Amino acid sequence: MPADNHIRNPFEMAVSGVGAAMSDAGRALAEARPRSAASVETPAVRRIEAQDVMDALRRGAADVGAARDDVLFIALIYPLAGVLIASVALDNRLTPLVFPLVSGFALLGPLAAVGLYEISRRLERGGPISAGTPLAVFRSPAIGDILRLGAVLLAVFFAWLVAAWAIYAANFGPQPPVSVAAFANEVLTTPAGWRMMAVGIGVGALFAAAVFVLSVISFPLMLDRHVPMSTAVQTSLRAVRTSPKTMALWGLIIAGLLVLGSLPALVGLVFVMPLLGHASWHLYRKVTREGPAA
């Protein structure tokens, strides 16, 4: 189709506008606080096993029981996501993006969990916990790097939405469905719908794997040791290379719990996200604990 005949769909306009706004907001927040000298020492990475993952989950559950303010923190985030998804679901032009939006929020989970890491960090040190504890990350010397990596995840999130729309258009054309029911029927009962689901799940898994590898250790490491983003990401990559099977197990557990937590309408994430956030902190501790490197 010639470029001059192309009419931008609502999704393209939303991505352009919201993406630019979020980028400007993230840059402003990152520049609002001078970055202090960060540690440049590369942390040692340890090999972990399946029992370490189970122990991290147990410790995470204990942290959930010790501090209920984490649920309040998550409860402020995911209802807003639910409202956004509901508004999209009511607009037939954006119906194909309902599932990509629901699944795509998992790509932002590591950033959303930073406040939970702060709660676990304080519990570990015997510090006081309050409803404002998750927001203490904005006073961290590492906030600039945390926001920069968060901007990377946000870019991946929007890239996933663009890819999801492209997959829909390749199978059903650029025209929006006439109704939610008609779209659901096409997806579930036609070869084009089955093909779209298969390709979408495969591509989505690649996006999720990329975010997991980049962030599984990065955010808690920056919060805890104030290392630069580049050092944190490199450490996360080394952690995955050092314990590939165990990290794959952890990724599958995260994916499974997020799927369960997303039903219905993301309500379950109020319970799942605190558990995963606290458990991720303890897994980070196991990966970077003192002792001989793997």
Residue 147 lies in a domain: yes
Q: What 3-state DSSP class applies to 258? A: helix
Q: Is the dihedral of CA 113, 118, 119, 120 positive or negative?
A: positive
Range of the domain at 53: 48-287
Tell me the pLDDT of the chain (294 aa) as tens digits: 444 444 444 444 444 444 443 444 444 344 444 444 445 577 899 999 999 999 999 999 998 877 666 566 665 566 566 666 666 666 667 888 888 887 888 888 899 889 889 989 998 988 888 777 878 889 999 999 999 999 999 999 999 999 999 999 999 988 888 888 888 899 999 999 999 999 999 999 999 999 999 999 999 999 999 999 999 999 999 999 999 999 999 999 999 998 887 776 667 777 888 899 999 999 999 999 754 444
Residue 117 lies in a domain: yes
Looking at residue 108, its amino acid is L
Distance, CA of 73 to CA of 262 (rounded, Å): 17
Q: What is the pLDDT of residue 292?
A: 45
Question: Is the Cβ–Cβ distance between 154 and 26 less than 8 Å?
Answer: yes
Residue 14 lies in a domain: no
Question: Is the Cβ–Cβ distance between 219 and 146 less than 8 Å?
Answer: yes
Residue 98 lies in a domain: yes
**Tokens representing residue 65 in the block:** 């029981």
Residue 274 lies in a domain: yes
Task: State the helix-helix crossing angle for 269-287 and 218-225, rounded to 10 degrees.
Answer: 70
Q: What is the pLDDT of residue 51?
A: 96
Distance, CA of 120 to CA of 273 (rounded, Å): 13
**Tokens representing residue 159 in the block:** 């890239």
**Tokens representing residue 243 in the block:** 């314990």
Residue 138 lies in a domain: yes
Distance, CA of 293 to CA of 235 (rounded, Å): 12
b/e per residue 3-37 (b: at least 16 CB within 10 A): eeeeeebebeebbeeebeebeeeeeebbeeeeeee
Number of domains in the chain: 1
Distance, CA of 88 to CA of 93 (rounded, Å): 8
Residue 131 lies in a domain: yes
**Tokens representing residue 131 in the block:** 């409803």
Q: What is the pLDDT of residue 89?
A: 60
Distance, CA of 207 to CA of 136 (rounded, Å): 30
Looking at residue 155, its amino acid is A
Residue 91 lies in a domain: yes
Please give the span between the terminal C-alpha atoms of the chain, in angstroms, as a whole number: 54
Q: What is the pLDDT of residue 2?
A: 42
